[in-house]
Amino acid sequence: MEAYLTFNGNAAEALAFYAKCLDGKIAFSMTFGESPMGKETPDSHKQKIMHATLEARGDKLMASDLPPGYPFDGYKGFSLSVQAKDVPEGEKLFNALSAGGKVTMPYAATFWSSGFGMLEDKFGVPWMVNCEQPPASS
């Protein structure tokens, strides 16, 4: 199963940010203007992303901008989750993804993990960063 995010005109910026944060790459990207319906696309949307795929950490994240005339209602009811192999990697991922965004739960040890945190990135997308290492025994 793979996540597909829809953005309000800033998908290219968001995917470039995620590629940098997650050490990934944009494997595919097509604008509305490059698509078979490019001639019918309003000029305001020709450079917006119709479909793109980011590959990072062995996973894919797909995204697009909303087509012309569709309202953007934000992101509700889900979080993207990224797994770190250890605490330093988790802190690095958490700090990168939260830059310019909002921390909703600081990255710290929990009863299930040596590092976990939650954030909303600068695009409004909710994330969880979880370290695969169990917490230290007390």
Strands (E), 10-92: 25-31, 49-56, 59-65, 80-84
**Domains, in order of start, for the chain:** 3-65 (3.30.720.100), 80-131 (3.30.720.110)
Q: Spell out the residues 6+ positions from residue 92 whose beta carbon is closer than 8 angstroms to its own.
A: 84
- In tens digits, what is the pLDDT along the chain, a chain of 138 residues? 899 999 999 999 999 999 999 999 999 999 999 999 888 899 999 999 999 999 999 999 999 999 988 999 999 999 999 999 999 999 999 999 999 999 999 999 999 999 999 999 999 999 999 998 888 775
Kind plus residue range of the DSSP H or E element containing 87 = helix 87-98
Q: How far apart are CA 56 and CA 47, in angstroms?
A: 24
User: Are the CB atoms for 67 and 35 separated by under 8 Å?
Assistant: no
